[in-house]
Chain A
Amino acid sequence: MAGAGLGLGLLGPRGLLSAGPSVHRAAPYLLIPMDDSQADHLKAYGLTFRVLERGGRAEWFLNFRGGAFLVPGDGATTRDAALAGVTSEPVSEGQVTDIKAQIQQQNMDAVPLEKPPKIAVYAPPNASPWDDAVTMVLNYAGINFEKIWDEEVVGKGLTKYDWLHLHHEDFTGQYSKFYLNYSGAPWLVDMVQRNTAMARQLGFPNVPAQKRAVAEEIRGFVNRGGFLFAMCTATETLDLALASGRADIAASYADGSPMDPDATRKMDWSQALAFQGAQLELSPNIPSFSDIDGHQVNSLDRRQPLGAFKLFNFSAKIDPVPAMLVQCHRDVIPDFYGLTTSFTKSTLKPSATILADEPGAPWAKYIHGELGQGTWTFYGGHDPEDPQHQIGDPPTDLSLHPHSPGYRLILNNVLFPAAKKRELKT
Chain B
Amino acid sequence: MSSRFPFPRFPFLGLLCCWAVPAMAQDPLSRAFDLERRGSYAQAAEIYRGVLRDKPGEVTALLGLERALTPLNRLVEVLPALQAAIRATPGAIPVYGVGLRVYAAANLMDSLPGLVDAWARAAPGDETPYREWASAALQRRDRPTARRAFQLARERLNRPDALAAEMAQLAAAEEDWPVATREWLRAVRQLPGYRSSATATLGQAPARARPEILAALEKESGPEAARLSVDLRTRWGDPLGAFDALTRLLTGPAPQQIDLLQGFLEQARIESTTPYLQAQARALEALAERWINAPQRARYRLDAARAYADAGERPAARRMLTLIANDSTSGPAVAAGATGTLIDLLVKEGKVEEAGRQLDRYRGALLVDEYLRLRRAVAARWAQGGDLARAEEMLAADSSVEALALTGRFRLYAGDLKAASEQWKTAGAFAGTREESTERAQLLALIQPIQEDTLPALGEALRLLDAGDSLKAAAAFERVGVGLPPDGGRADLLLFAGRIYAGAGVAAEAERLFRAAVQPDAPGTAAAALLELGRLLVATERGDQAVAVLEQMILDYPGSALVPQARRLLDQARNAVPRT
A1-22 interface code vs B (CB 8 A; 1 in, 0 out)? 0110000000111110011111
Contacts of A23 in B (CB 8 A): 555, 558
A residues less than 8 Å from B176 (CB atoms): 184
Cβ–Cβ contact A79 & B555, under 8 A: yes
Nearest 4 A/B pairs, CB to CB? A20-B558, A12-B556, A181-B141, A395-B578
- A17 vs chain B, min Cβ distance (A): 10
| Chain A 199-238 interface residues, beta-carbon cutoff 8 Å to B | none
Q: Does B1 contact A (CB under 8 A)?
A: yes
Q: DSSP class of A's interface residues: helix, strand, loop or mixed?
A: loop
Per the 8 Å Cβ criterion, residues 268-306 of A in contact with B are: 285-287, 298, 300-301, 304-305
B571 in contact with A11 (CB, 8 Å): no
Cα–Cα, bound, A304→B576 (Å):
34
CB of A180 within 8 A of CB of B556, answer: no
Contact residues in B for A318 (Cβ distance below 8 Å)? none
Instruction: Identify 10 residue pairs between A and B in the complex whose beta-carbon atoms are under 8 Å apart, listed by A's number.
Output: A14-B556, A18-B558, A18-B559, A85-B567, A285-B142, A300-B139, A301-B107, A398-B576, A399-B567, A399-B568
Complex contact A397–B175 (CB within 8 A): no
With known contacts A184-B175, A399-B568, A139–B557 Cβ distance under 8 A: no
Known pairs A85-B563, A394-B578 / 15 extra A-B pairs, C-beta < 8 Å = A11-B556, A12-B555, A13-B556, A18-B558, A19-B559, A20-B558, A83-B551, A85-B564, A139-B575, A139-B576, A142-B574, A183-B143, A184-B175, A300-B140, A301-B105
The one of A2, A181, A298 that contacts B548, using a Cβ cutoff of 8 Å = A2
Set of chain B residues within 8 Å of A183, measured between Cβ atoms? 143, 174
**Given contact pairs A2-B548, A3-B551, A397-B578, A83 touches B174 in the complex (Cβ within 8 A):** no
The answer, yes or no, to whether B395 is at the interface (CB within 8 Å) is: no
Rounded to whole Å, the gap between the CB of B489 and the closest CB of chain A is 21
Q: Please, what's the 1-or-0 string for A138-182, where 1 marks a CB less than 8 Å from any CB in chain B?
A: 011010000000000000000000000000000000000000110
B574 lies within 8 A of A15 (CB): no
Contact code string A65-96 (vs B, CB < 8 Å = 1, else 0)? 00000000000000100111100000000000
Contacts of A399 in B (CB 8 A): 567-568, 571, 576-577
**Bound: A274/B518 CA distance, A:** 59
- Give Cα A172–Cα B236 distance, bound, in whole angstroms: 41
Docked complex Cα distance between A130 and B575 (Å): 10
> In the complex, what residues of A have CB within 8 A of residue B568's CB?
399
- A13 lies within 8 A of B580 (CB): no
Residue B554 CB within 8 A of the other chain: yes
B141 touches A285 (CB 8 A): yes
- For residue A21, which residues in chain B have a CB less than 8 angstroms away from its CB? 558
Can you name the residue of chain B whose Cβ is closest to the Cβ of A139? B576
Q: Which of B104, B141, B558, B575 contacts A82 (CB 8 A)?
A: B558
Are B577 and A397 within 8 A (Cβ)? yes
B558/A11 in contact, CB under 8 A: no
Interface range on chain B: under 10, 10 to 19, 20 to 34, or 35 or more?
35 or more
Asked if B196 is at the interface (CB within 8 A of a chain A CB), the reply is: no
Smallest Cβ distance from A208 to chain B, in angstroms? Answer: 21
Q: Does A124 contact B (CB under 8 A)?
A: no
Residue of A nearest to B580 (CB): A397
With both chains docked as a complex, state the minimum distance between the C-beta of B472 and any C-beta of chain A, in angstroms. Answer: 35
Nearest neighbor of B567 in chain A, beta-carbon distance: A85
User: For residue B567, which residues in chain A have a CB less than 8 angstroms away from its CB?
Assistant: 83-85, 399
Bound: A181/B138 CA distance, A? 10
Residues facing B in A34-88 (CB within 8 A) are 79, 82-85
Indicate whether A127 reaches chain B with its CB closer than 8 angstroms: no
Known: A23-B558, A181-B141. A140 touches B571 (CB 8 A): yes
- Which residues from A are CB-within-8-Å of B555? 11-12, 14-15, 23, 79, 82-83
Cross-chain contact B141 with A129 (CB below 8 angstroms): no
Closest beta carbon of chain A to B363's beta carbon, Å = 53
Distance between A251 CB and nearest chain B CB, rounded to angstroms? 13
Q: Which of A2, A181, A305 contacts B551 (CB 8 A)?
A: A2
Residue of B570, B571, B575 most packed against chain A (CB within 10 A): B571
- When C-beta atoms are compared, the residue in chain B nearest to A3 turns out to be B551
Q: Which of B1, B139, B174, B557 contacts A14 (CB 8 A)?
A: B557
Report the separation of the CA atoms of residues A20 and B139 in the bound assembly, to the nearest whole angstrom: 57
A197 on interface, CB distance cutoff 8 Å: no
Residue of A84, A180, A395, A397 most packed against chain B (CB within 10 A): A397
Q: Chain B CB within 10 Å — which of A11, A83, A300 has the most?
A: A83
- Asked if A308 is an interface residue, CB under 8 A from chain B, the answer is no
Considering the complex, give the chain A residue whose CB is closest to the CB of B558.
A20
Cα–Cα, bound, A83→B576 (Å): 14
Q: In this assembly, does B4 line the interface, its C-beta being within 8 Å of a C-beta of chain A?
A: yes
Interface string of B378-411 (1 = CB under 8 A from A): 0000000000000000000000000000000000
With A12-B552, A399-B568 already in contact, the answer to whether A22 and B141 are too (CB < 8 A) is: no
Chain A residues with CB under 8 A of B143: 180-181, 183
A286 to B141, CA, bound (A): 8
Closest B residue to A128 using CB positions: B578
**Among the listed A14, A19, A398, which residue makes an inter-chain contact with B577, where contact means beta carbons less than 8 Å apart?**
A398
Most buried by A among B139, B554, B558, B563: B558
- Residues of chain B within 8 A of A285, CB atoms compared: 140-142
> Is B547 part of the contact surface with A, judged by Cβ < 8 Å?
yes
A180 CA to B1 CA, complexed, in Å: 29
A266 to B360, CA, bound (A): 95
* Distance from A317 Cβ to chain B, minimum over Cβ atoms (Å): 36
- Is A185 an interface residue when CB atoms closer than 8 A count as contact? yes
Q: Report the minimum CB–CB distance from A2 to chain B (whole Å).
A: 6
Contact residues in B for A394 (Cβ distance below 8 Å): 578
- Cβ < 8 Å to A, chain B residues 74-127: 104-105, 107
Distance in angstroms between the alpha carbons of A12 and B553 in the assembled complex: 9
- Distance to closest chain A CB from B181 (angstroms): 16
Task: For the complex formed, measure the closest distance between the CB of B155 and the CB atoms of chain A, giving whole angstroms.
Answer: 24
Interface check B192, CB cutoff 8 A: no
**B548 to chain A: which residues have CB within 8 Å?**
2-3
Least distance between B26 CB and chain A CB atoms (Å):
37
Name which residue of chain A comes closest to B574, CB basis.
A142
